Amino acid sequence: MKRTLINDLIKWKNKENRKPLILKGVRQCGKTYLLKTFGKEHYSSVAYFNFEENENLKTVFEKDYDTSRIILELGLFVGQTIKPNETLVIFDEIQECGKAITSLKYFCENAPQYHIVCAGSLLGIALQNNLSFPVGKVDFLTLYPMSFAEFLRAVAPENLADYVDNFSKGQDLPQIIADKLSTFLRQYYITGGMPEVVSIWKKTFSIEEVESVQQAIINSYELDFAKHAPIKEFPKLTAIWRSIPEQLAKENTKFMFGHVKKGWRAKDLEDALEWLINAGLVHKVCKIEKPFMPLSSYADETAFKLYASDVGLLRKMSKLPHEVILDASPIYKEFKGSLTENYVLTELLKSTTDTAYYWSSGNTAEVDFIVQCNSEIVPIEVKSERNVKARSLAEYLKKYEPKYSVKTSMKSEVKTEGLMSVPLYLIASLKNFTKDSTLQ
Protein backbone atom coordinates (compact mmCIF):
# COMPACT_ATOMS: atom_id res chain seq x y z
CA MET A 1 0.00 0.00 0.00
CA LYS A 2 2.13 2.87 -1.26
CA ARG A 3 1.03 6.22 0.17
CA THR A 4 2.11 9.38 -1.59
CA LEU A 5 2.40 11.27 1.72
CA ILE A 6 5.63 9.38 2.41
CA ASN A 7 7.29 11.87 0.04
CA ASP A 8 6.27 14.69 2.38
CA LEU A 9 7.65 12.73 5.34
CA ILE A 10 11.00 12.42 3.56
CA LYS A 11 11.02 16.19 2.95
CA TRP A 12 10.27 16.71 6.66
CA LYS A 13 13.18 14.44 7.63
CA ASN A 14 15.58 16.47 5.51
CA LYS A 15 14.42 19.95 6.58
CA GLU A 16 17.05 22.12 8.25
CA ASN A 17 14.48 23.67 10.58
CA ARG A 18 12.64 20.40 11.23
CA LYS A 19 10.24 20.41 14.18
CA PRO A 20 8.37 17.52 15.81
CA LEU A 21 5.66 16.41 13.37
CA ILE A 22 1.97 15.87 14.07
CA LEU A 23 0.21 13.62 11.57
CA LYS A 24 -3.55 14.10 11.67
CA GLY A 25 -6.16 11.84 10.13
CA VAL A 26 -9.33 9.89 10.89
CA ARG A 27 -9.23 6.53 12.61
CA GLN A 28 -8.02 3.64 10.42
CA CYS A 29 -6.80 5.76 7.50
CA GLY A 30 -3.31 4.25 7.81
CA LYS A 31 -1.34 6.69 9.99
CA THR A 32 0.48 4.12 12.14
CA TYR A 33 1.30 1.86 9.21
CA LEU A 34 2.66 4.80 7.21
CA LEU A 35 4.87 6.08 10.05
CA LYS A 36 6.27 2.64 10.81
CA THR A 37 6.97 2.07 7.12
CA PHE A 38 8.65 5.47 6.90
CA GLY A 39 10.83 4.65 9.92
CA LYS A 40 11.78 1.24 8.63
CA GLU A 41 12.76 2.56 5.19
CA HIS A 42 14.51 5.81 6.16
CA TYR A 43 15.98 5.34 9.66
CA SER A 44 18.32 2.87 11.28
CA SER A 45 15.78 2.15 14.03
CA VAL A 46 12.24 2.94 15.18
CA ALA A 47 11.02 3.49 18.75
CA TYR A 48 7.22 3.13 18.89
CA PHE A 49 5.05 4.26 21.81
CA ASN A 50 1.26 3.98 22.06
CA PHE A 51 -0.33 6.08 24.80
CA GLU A 52 -3.68 4.35 24.47
CA GLU A 53 -2.29 0.84 24.90
CA ASN A 54 0.01 1.60 27.84
CA GLU A 55 -1.07 3.95 30.61
CA ASN A 56 2.38 3.75 32.27
CA LEU A 57 3.88 5.72 29.39
CA LYS A 58 2.24 8.86 30.71
CA THR A 59 4.35 8.77 33.89
CA VAL A 60 7.46 9.52 31.81
CA PHE A 61 6.05 13.00 31.16
CA GLU A 62 4.70 13.71 34.64
CA LYS A 63 7.87 14.91 36.40
CA ASP A 64 9.19 17.65 34.08
CA TYR A 65 10.05 18.40 30.46
CA ASP A 66 13.75 17.55 30.61
CA THR A 67 14.21 16.08 27.13
CA SER A 68 17.38 14.15 28.06
CA ARG A 69 15.59 12.39 30.91
CA ILE A 70 12.50 11.70 28.77
CA ILE A 71 14.57 10.16 25.96
CA LEU A 72 16.55 8.02 28.43
CA GLU A 73 13.41 6.71 30.14
CA LEU A 74 11.64 6.06 26.83
CA GLY A 75 14.68 4.08 25.69
CA LEU A 76 14.56 2.01 28.88
CA PHE A 77 10.83 1.54 28.38
CA VAL A 78 11.32 -0.14 24.97
CA GLY A 79 14.73 -1.65 25.70
CA GLN A 80 16.69 0.20 23.06
CA THR A 81 18.91 3.25 22.69
CA ILE A 82 17.19 6.17 21.02
CA LYS A 83 19.87 7.73 18.85
CA PRO A 84 19.77 11.35 17.66
CA ASN A 85 19.22 11.69 13.90
CA GLU A 86 19.08 7.88 13.52
CA THR A 87 16.01 6.72 15.45
CA LEU A 88 12.48 7.68 14.47
CA VAL A 89 10.42 8.18 17.63
CA ILE A 90 6.69 7.55 17.08
CA PHE A 91 4.15 8.78 19.63
CA ASP A 92 0.86 7.11 18.70
CA GLU A 93 -2.54 8.13 20.10
CA ILE A 94 -0.73 11.10 21.66
CA GLN A 95 -4.04 12.82 22.32
CA GLU A 96 -4.30 10.54 25.37
CA CYS A 97 -1.40 12.36 27.05
CA GLY A 98 -1.63 16.15 27.13
CA LYS A 99 1.81 16.53 28.71
CA ALA A 100 3.38 14.55 25.88
CA ILE A 101 1.85 17.06 23.48
CA THR A 102 3.29 19.92 25.55
CA SER A 103 6.74 18.24 25.59
CA LEU A 104 6.99 18.73 21.83
CA LYS A 105 7.80 22.40 22.49
CA TYR A 106 10.89 21.41 24.47
CA PHE A 107 12.01 18.85 21.91
CA CYS A 108 11.74 21.57 19.28
CA GLU A 109 13.71 24.11 21.32
CA ASN A 110 16.21 21.95 23.20
CA ALA A 111 16.58 18.66 21.34
CA PRO A 112 15.90 19.07 17.60
CA GLN A 113 18.33 16.23 16.90
CA TYR A 114 15.60 13.77 17.88
CA HIS A 115 13.17 12.98 15.07
CA ILE A 116 9.71 12.77 16.62
CA VAL A 117 6.44 12.07 14.81
CA CYS A 118 3.04 11.94 16.47
CA ALA A 119 -0.29 10.48 15.40
CA GLY A 120 -3.74 10.07 16.84
CA SER A 121 -7.22 9.31 15.60
CA LEU A 122 -8.77 12.20 17.52
CA LEU A 123 -5.86 14.60 17.52
CA GLY A 124 -8.01 17.36 16.06
CA ILE A 125 -10.20 17.23 19.16
CA ALA A 126 -7.23 17.15 21.55
CA LEU A 127 -5.53 20.09 19.87
CA GLN A 128 -8.68 22.20 20.18
CA ASN A 129 -8.89 21.46 23.90
CA ASN A 130 -5.19 21.51 24.86
CA LEU A 131 -4.53 24.88 26.49
CA SER A 132 -0.75 24.33 26.55
CA PHE A 133 -0.40 23.30 22.92
CA PRO A 134 3.05 24.21 21.55
CA VAL A 135 1.98 26.77 18.95
CA GLY A 136 4.65 27.30 16.31
CA LYS A 137 6.80 24.47 17.65
CA VAL A 138 5.46 21.61 15.51
CA ASP A 139 5.00 20.74 11.86
CA PHE A 140 1.69 19.35 10.57
CA LEU A 141 0.66 16.89 7.89
CA THR A 142 -2.74 15.33 7.25
CA LEU A 143 -3.25 11.78 6.02
CA TYR A 144 -6.56 11.17 4.26
CA PRO A 145 -8.05 7.84 3.22
CA MET A 146 -6.38 6.48 0.10
CA SER A 147 -6.92 8.56 -3.02
CA PHE A 148 -8.12 7.06 -6.27
CA ALA A 149 -4.52 7.06 -7.55
CA GLU A 150 -3.37 5.17 -4.43
CA PHE A 151 -6.29 2.75 -4.88
CA LEU A 152 -5.17 2.14 -8.46
CA ARG A 153 -1.62 1.45 -7.35
CA ALA A 154 -2.93 -1.11 -4.87
CA VAL A 155 -5.39 -3.03 -7.05
CA ALA A 156 -4.75 -2.22 -10.72
CA PRO A 157 -1.84 -3.09 -13.02
CA GLU A 158 1.10 -0.90 -12.02
CA ASN A 159 1.46 0.66 -15.45
CA LEU A 160 -2.09 2.02 -15.21
CA ALA A 161 -1.33 3.77 -11.92
CA ASP A 162 1.90 5.15 -13.41
CA TYR A 163 -0.06 6.42 -16.41
CA VAL A 164 -2.45 8.38 -14.18
CA ASP A 165 0.38 9.72 -12.00
CA ASN A 166 2.22 11.03 -15.04
CA PHE A 167 -0.77 12.34 -17.01
CA SER A 168 -0.10 15.94 -17.95
CA LYS A 169 -1.50 18.89 -19.84
CA GLY A 170 -1.83 18.35 -23.59
CA GLN A 171 -2.06 14.57 -23.50
CA ASP A 172 -4.82 12.59 -25.19
CA LEU A 173 -6.58 9.81 -23.31
CA PRO A 174 -7.02 6.62 -25.37
CA GLN A 175 -10.52 5.15 -25.05
CA ILE A 176 -9.23 1.74 -23.96
CA ILE A 177 -7.50 3.34 -20.96
CA ALA A 178 -10.51 5.57 -20.25
CA ASP A 179 -12.76 2.49 -20.08
CA LYS A 180 -10.42 0.77 -17.61
CA LEU A 181 -10.21 3.86 -15.41
CA SER A 182 -13.98 4.23 -15.43
CA THR A 183 -14.37 0.63 -14.25
CA PHE A 184 -11.86 1.08 -11.44
CA LEU A 185 -13.47 4.35 -10.38
CA ARG A 186 -16.83 2.62 -9.92
CA GLN A 187 -15.04 0.05 -7.77
CA TYR A 188 -13.54 2.89 -5.74
CA TYR A 189 -17.01 4.35 -5.17
CA ILE A 190 -17.86 1.02 -3.52
CA THR A 191 -14.71 0.48 -1.46
CA GLY A 192 -13.55 4.02 -0.75
CA GLY A 193 -10.02 4.56 0.47
CA MET A 194 -9.77 3.02 3.93
CA PRO A 195 -6.60 0.88 3.67
CA GLU A 196 -8.09 -2.19 5.37
CA VAL A 197 -11.08 -2.09 3.03
CA VAL A 198 -8.86 -1.73 -0.05
CA SER A 199 -6.67 -4.58 1.19
CA ILE A 200 -9.69 -6.88 1.61
CA TRP A 201 -10.93 -5.93 -1.86
CA LYS A 202 -7.53 -6.67 -3.38
CA LYS A 203 -7.35 -10.09 -1.68
CA THR A 204 -10.93 -11.29 -2.11
CA PHE A 205 -12.93 -9.01 -4.45
CA SER A 206 -15.78 -9.83 -2.08
CA ILE A 207 -18.40 -7.11 -1.61
CA GLU A 208 -19.65 -8.90 1.49
CA GLU A 209 -16.24 -8.79 3.17
CA VAL A 210 -15.70 -5.18 2.09
CA GLU A 211 -18.99 -4.10 3.64
CA SER A 212 -18.24 -6.02 6.83
CA VAL A 213 -15.01 -4.05 7.31
CA GLN A 214 -16.72 -0.78 6.39
CA GLN A 215 -19.45 -1.38 8.96
CA ALA A 216 -16.82 -2.15 11.62
CA ILE A 217 -15.12 1.19 10.87
CA ILE A 218 -18.43 3.06 11.05
CA ASN A 219 -19.16 1.32 14.37
CA SER A 220 -15.72 2.33 15.70
CA TYR A 221 -16.46 5.97 14.85
CA GLU A 222 -19.70 5.87 16.76
CA LEU A 223 -17.94 4.21 19.71
CA ASP A 224 -15.55 7.18 19.68
CA PHE A 225 -18.56 9.46 20.09
CA ALA A 226 -19.51 7.62 23.26
CA LYS A 227 -15.96 7.34 24.61
CA HIS A 228 -14.43 10.72 23.84
CA ALA A 229 -17.20 13.28 23.28
CA PRO A 230 -19.03 15.12 26.08
CA ILE A 231 -21.94 12.99 27.27
CA LYS A 232 -24.52 15.65 26.39
CA GLU A 233 -23.23 15.78 22.79
CA PHE A 234 -23.38 12.04 22.10
CA PRO A 235 -26.97 11.82 20.77
CA LYS A 236 -26.40 14.95 18.67
CA LEU A 237 -23.17 13.62 17.17
CA THR A 238 -24.82 10.35 16.23
CA ALA A 239 -27.84 12.13 14.76
CA ILE A 240 -25.75 14.51 12.61
CA TRP A 241 -23.41 11.72 11.46
CA ARG A 242 -26.28 9.46 10.41
CA SER A 243 -28.14 12.28 8.68
CA ILE A 244 -25.37 13.03 6.17
CA PRO A 245 -26.47 10.55 3.45
CA GLU A 246 -30.07 11.71 3.70
CA GLN A 247 -29.12 15.39 3.54
CA LEU A 248 -26.86 14.86 0.52
CA ALA A 249 -29.59 12.94 -1.27
CA LYS A 250 -31.88 15.96 -1.27
CA GLU A 251 -31.99 18.15 -4.35
CA ASN A 252 -30.96 21.12 -2.23
CA THR A 253 -27.93 19.67 -0.48
CA LYS A 254 -27.43 22.61 1.87
CA PHE A 255 -27.21 21.17 5.38
CA MET A 256 -30.42 21.74 7.32
CA PHE A 257 -30.21 21.44 11.11
CA GLY A 258 -33.96 20.96 11.27
CA HIS A 259 -33.67 17.80 9.17
CA VAL A 260 -31.37 16.14 11.72
CA LYS A 261 -34.23 15.91 14.19
CA LYS A 262 -37.48 17.81 14.33
CA GLY A 263 -37.24 20.74 16.70
CA TRP A 264 -33.45 20.91 16.81
CA ARG A 265 -31.89 24.19 15.74
CA ALA A 266 -28.43 25.39 14.82
CA LYS A 267 -27.58 26.56 18.35
CA ASP A 268 -28.43 23.07 19.67
CA LEU A 269 -26.12 21.27 17.26
CA GLU A 270 -23.22 23.62 16.52
CA ASP A 271 -20.86 22.17 19.16
CA ALA A 272 -21.54 18.61 18.05
CA LEU A 273 -20.95 19.56 14.42
CA GLU A 274 -17.65 21.24 15.30
CA TRP A 275 -16.57 18.04 17.09
CA LEU A 276 -17.18 15.99 13.93
CA ILE A 277 -15.25 18.50 11.81
CA ASN A 278 -12.28 18.58 14.20
CA ALA A 279 -12.27 14.79 14.29
CA GLY A 280 -11.93 14.80 10.50
CA LEU A 281 -15.06 12.71 10.01
CA VAL A 282 -16.86 15.31 7.94
CA HIS A 283 -15.85 18.09 5.58
CA LYS A 284 -17.69 21.40 5.71
CA VAL A 285 -18.07 23.27 2.40
CA CYS A 286 -19.38 26.81 2.84
CA LYS A 287 -21.22 28.95 0.32
CA ILE A 288 -19.70 32.02 -1.28
CA GLU A 289 -21.55 34.58 -3.36
CA LYS A 290 -18.44 36.29 -4.76
CA PRO A 291 -15.41 34.27 -5.91
CA PHE A 292 -12.66 36.70 -4.91
CA MET A 293 -9.42 36.22 -2.97
CA PRO A 294 -9.13 35.34 -0.23
CA LEU A 295 -12.09 33.01 -0.63
CA SER A 296 -12.48 32.61 3.13
CA SER A 297 -13.40 36.30 3.42
CA TYR A 298 -16.47 35.74 1.24
CA ALA A 299 -17.68 32.54 2.91
CA ASP A 300 -21.10 32.32 4.53
CA GLU A 301 -20.54 30.08 7.55
CA THR A 302 -24.29 29.67 8.05
CA ALA A 303 -24.88 28.12 4.62
CA PHE A 304 -22.88 24.97 4.01
CA LYS A 305 -22.87 21.36 2.88
CA LEU A 306 -21.45 18.40 4.78
CA TYR A 307 -19.58 15.59 3.09
CA ALA A 308 -18.16 12.35 4.50
CA SER A 309 -14.41 11.79 4.85
CA ASP A 310 -14.58 8.70 2.65
CA VAL A 311 -16.81 7.96 -0.34
CA GLY A 312 -16.95 4.22 0.42
CA LEU A 313 -18.18 4.79 3.97
CA LEU A 314 -20.77 7.24 2.63
CA ARG A 315 -21.97 4.60 0.17
CA LYS A 316 -22.22 2.03 2.99
CA MET A 317 -23.98 4.45 5.36
CA SER A 318 -26.52 5.25 2.65
CA LYS A 319 -27.24 1.50 2.20
CA LEU A 320 -26.71 1.93 -1.53
CA PRO A 321 -26.40 -1.50 -3.20
CA HIS A 322 -23.13 -1.99 -5.03
CA GLU A 323 -24.90 -3.30 -8.12
CA VAL A 324 -26.40 0.06 -9.02
CA ILE A 325 -22.93 1.62 -9.09
CA LEU A 326 -21.19 -1.10 -11.07
CA ASP A 327 -24.01 -1.13 -13.64
CA ALA A 328 -24.32 2.68 -13.78
CA SER A 329 -27.98 2.16 -12.98
CA PRO A 330 -30.41 5.09 -13.24
CA ILE A 331 -32.12 3.77 -10.10
CA TYR A 332 -29.87 5.79 -7.85
CA LYS A 333 -29.99 8.95 -9.93
CA GLU A 334 -30.95 11.18 -7.01
CA PHE A 335 -28.00 10.11 -4.86
CA LYS A 336 -25.50 9.53 -7.68
CA GLY A 337 -24.66 13.21 -8.03
CA SER A 338 -23.99 13.61 -4.31
CA LEU A 339 -21.80 10.51 -4.14
CA THR A 340 -19.78 11.83 -7.09
CA GLU A 341 -19.49 15.26 -5.48
CA ASN A 342 -18.18 13.62 -2.30
CA TYR A 343 -15.55 11.77 -4.35
CA VAL A 344 -14.47 14.96 -6.17
CA LEU A 345 -14.20 16.92 -2.93
CA THR A 346 -11.99 14.34 -1.22
CA GLU A 347 -9.76 14.10 -4.30
CA LEU A 348 -9.37 17.89 -4.36
CA LEU A 349 -8.51 18.02 -0.65
CA LYS A 350 -5.86 15.34 -1.12
CA SER A 351 -4.25 16.83 -4.19
CA THR A 352 -5.18 20.44 -4.90
CA THR A 353 -6.55 22.59 -2.10
CA ASP A 354 -6.96 22.80 1.68
CA THR A 355 -10.48 24.19 1.52
CA ALA A 356 -13.31 24.14 -1.01
CA TYR A 357 -16.44 26.28 -1.30
CA TYR A 358 -19.56 26.27 -3.45
CA TRP A 359 -21.09 29.22 -5.28
CA SER A 360 -24.72 30.12 -5.24
CA SER A 361 -26.56 32.99 -6.87
CA GLY A 362 -29.88 33.22 -5.13
CA ASN A 363 -32.05 30.29 -6.17
CA THR A 364 -31.11 30.45 -9.84
CA ALA A 365 -27.65 28.88 -10.07
CA GLU A 366 -25.21 26.81 -8.05
CA VAL A 367 -21.68 25.65 -8.91
CA ASP A 368 -20.57 22.57 -6.98
CA PHE A 369 -17.06 23.66 -5.96
CA ILE A 370 -14.94 26.80 -6.03
CA VAL A 371 -11.25 26.24 -5.22
CA GLN A 372 -8.03 28.16 -5.34
CA CYS A 373 -5.74 26.20 -7.64
CA ASN A 374 -2.23 27.60 -7.89
CA SER A 375 -2.90 31.35 -8.33
CA GLU A 376 -6.35 30.98 -9.91
CA ILE A 377 -9.88 30.67 -8.55
CA VAL A 378 -11.42 27.75 -10.40
CA PRO A 379 -15.15 26.81 -10.54
CA ILE A 380 -15.89 23.09 -10.86
CA GLU A 381 -19.15 21.59 -12.07
CA VAL A 382 -19.55 17.88 -11.24
CA LYS A 383 -21.53 15.47 -13.41
CA SER A 384 -21.85 11.84 -12.37
CA GLU A 385 -22.08 10.33 -15.85
CA ARG A 386 -21.62 11.70 -19.40
CA ASN A 387 -24.22 14.47 -19.38
CA VAL A 388 -22.15 17.66 -19.29
CA LYS A 389 -24.81 20.37 -19.59
CA ALA A 390 -23.94 22.94 -16.96
CA ARG A 391 -26.30 25.91 -16.89
CA SER A 392 -25.09 27.15 -13.50
CA LEU A 393 -21.48 27.08 -14.63
CA ALA A 394 -22.46 29.00 -17.76
CA GLU A 395 -24.02 31.72 -15.60
CA TYR A 396 -20.90 31.86 -13.43
CA LEU A 397 -18.65 32.17 -16.51
CA LYS A 398 -20.75 34.98 -17.90
CA LYS A 399 -20.62 36.85 -14.62
CA TYR A 400 -16.96 36.41 -13.58
CA GLU A 401 -15.02 35.31 -16.70
CA PRO A 402 -12.46 33.09 -14.91
CA LYS A 403 -9.25 32.08 -16.66
CA TYR A 404 -9.99 28.42 -15.93
CA SER A 405 -13.21 26.53 -15.27
CA VAL A 406 -13.90 22.80 -15.09
CA LYS A 407 -16.58 20.34 -16.05
CA THR A 408 -15.80 16.89 -14.72
CA SER A 409 -17.75 13.79 -15.72
CA MET A 410 -17.34 10.22 -16.97
CA LYS A 411 -16.68 11.54 -20.48
CA SER A 412 -13.23 10.53 -21.63
CA GLU A 413 -12.58 13.83 -23.40
CA VAL A 414 -9.68 15.79 -21.91
CA LYS A 415 -9.52 19.52 -22.61
CA THR A 416 -7.15 21.63 -20.54
CA GLU A 417 -7.57 25.16 -21.84
CA GLY A 418 -10.18 27.71 -20.75
CA LEU A 419 -13.35 25.75 -20.04
CA MET A 420 -11.66 22.46 -19.20
CA SER A 421 -13.14 19.02 -19.59
CA VAL A 422 -11.58 16.66 -17.05
CA PRO A 423 -12.67 13.03 -16.57
CA LEU A 424 -13.60 12.22 -12.99
CA TYR A 425 -10.77 9.72 -12.70
CA LEU A 426 -8.23 12.46 -13.53
CA ILE A 427 -9.60 15.23 -11.31
CA ALA A 428 -6.58 14.95 -8.98
CA SER A 429 -4.44 16.22 -11.89
CA LEU A 430 -6.25 19.57 -11.89
CA LYS A 431 -3.34 21.36 -10.24
CA ASN A 432 -1.09 20.36 -13.14
CA PHE A 433 -3.58 21.66 -15.71
CA THR A 434 -3.69 25.15 -14.18
CA LYS A 435 0.07 25.65 -13.89
CA ASP A 436 1.55 28.53 -15.82
CA SER A 437 4.38 26.88 -17.74
CA THR A 438 6.26 30.20 -17.91
CA LEU A 439 6.62 30.14 -14.12
CA GLN A 440 7.91 26.59 -13.80
Confidence bin at 193 (pLDDT 50/70/90)? very high
Whether residues 373 and 434 fall in one domain: yes
Whether residues 122 and 248 fall in one domain: no
* DSSP E strands, 362-424: 365-373, 376-382, 405-409, 419-423
Q: What is the pLDDT of residue 76?
A: 96
Question: Average pLDDT for residues 169-184, to the nearest whole number?
Answer: 90
Which domain-ending residue is among 113, 142, 171?
Answer: 142
In a domain, 387, yes or no: yes
Peptide bond before residue 235 is cis, with ω within 30 degrees of 0: no
Confidence bin at 331 (pLDDT 50/70/90)? low
In this predicted model, what pLDDT tens digit does every residue of 344-393 receive, in sequence order? 999 999 988 889 999 988 777 889 999 998 888 999 999 988 776 778 89
Domain count of the chain?
A: 2
Whether residues 424 and 363 fall in one domain: yes
Whether residues 225 and 125 fall in one domain: no
Mean pLDDT, the chain, rounded, equals: 90
Whether residues 167 and 24 fall in one domain: no
Mutual angle of helices 148-155 and 195-204, in 10-degree steps: 30
Any alpha helices (H) in 250-288, and if so which ranges?
257-260, 266-278
In a domain, 114, yes or no: yes
Question: Average pLDDT for residues 103-107, to the nearest whole number?
Answer: 96
Which domain-ending residue is among 107, 142, 177?
Answer: 142
In a domain, 179, yes or no: yes
Name the residue range of residue 367's domain: 148-439
Q: Give the residue from 294, 276, 279, 313 showing the smallest Cα distance to 355.
A: 294
Q: What is the pLDDT of residue 318?
A: 92
pLDDT at 320 over 90: no
Q: How many CB atoms lie within 10 A of CB 374?
A: 16
| Beta carbons of 31 and 25 less than 8 angstroms apart | yes
Q: Read off the pTM.
A: 0.92
Whether residues 135 and 163 fall in one domain: no
Whether residues 24 and 155 fall in one domain: no
Whether residues 156 and 198 fall in one domain: yes
Q: Give the residue from 57, 143, 142 showing the smallest Cα distance to 103.
A: 57
Q: Taking the alpha carbons of 115, 119, 124, 130 in that order, is the dihedral positive or negative?
A: negative
In this predicted model, what pLDDT tens digit does every residue of 220-270 receive, in sequence order? 999 999 888 888 889 999 999 999 988 888 766 688 888 888 878 888 899
Which CATH number goes with the domain that contains 29? 3.40.50.300
Q: What is the pLDDT of residue 387?
A: 72
Whether residues 81 and 213 fall in one domain: no
Confidence bin at 440 (pLDDT 50/70/90)? very low
Whether residues 261 and 385 fall in one domain: yes
Q: How many CA atoms lie within 13 A of 76 on its CB side?
A: 9
Q: What is the pLDDT of residue 439?
A: 33
Q: What is the pLDDT of residue 240?
A: 94
Q: What is the pLDDT of residue 330?
A: 65
In a domain, 1, yes or no: no
pLDDT at 433 over 90: no
In a domain, 105, yes or no: yes
Amino acid at 367: V
Whether residues 118 and 259 fall in one domain: no
Whether residues 115 and 56 fall in one domain: yes
Which domain-ending residue is among 108, 142, 176?
Answer: 142
Question: Average pLDDT for residues 306-331, to the nearest whole number?
Answer: 86
Q: What is the pLDDT of residue 117?
A: 98
pLDDT at 55 over 60: yes
**SS3 label, residue 56:** helix
Kindly state the percentage of the chain with pLDDT values over 70: 95
